Amino acid sequence: MRVLIVDDELEFLELMEKRLSRRGLEVVTAADGKTALARVEESVKEPEENRLKVVVMDVRMPGMDGLETLRQMKSIASDLPVILLTGHAAVGVAMDGLELGAFDYMLKPVPITELIAKMEEAIAHNA
């Protein structure tokens, strides 16, 4: 499973990359919305087996936030499932994300096993 993790907290990105890689996932990271969009644009040009299968993205990021990134991402790859990560205070924003086409949202901090299960569910739902 090839996944894109998008978060402006670099420590969180590094931790997720290590933890998911140890479980056999291929992890691509982006520290902001613009980089995430570039990664998705690169992915859609790849053969199907090399493409990103799911995106896990923080809602709150400086510059281009998660919702705007999601909006633009869906115009590039409408079938790519996106799981939003949010804190308790931003649940309303995450609900807005569902209306924009996010597969689901999860509250931070998210247990790694639950996140992997949600990513697998998103991919299966999209197949």
Percent of the chain with pLDDT over 90: 88
CA–CA dist 99, 110 (Å, integer): 22
pLDDT of residue 126: 83
Stretch 60-64: mean pLDDT? 92
Q: Which of 125, 24, 113, 112 is nearest to 82 (CA)?
A: 125
Burial string for 12-42 (b: 16+ CB within 10 Å, else e) reads bbeebbeebeeeebebbbbbbbebbbebbee
pLDDT grade, residue 73 (50/70/90)?
very high
Tens-place pLDDT, residues 5-22: 999 999 999 999 999 999
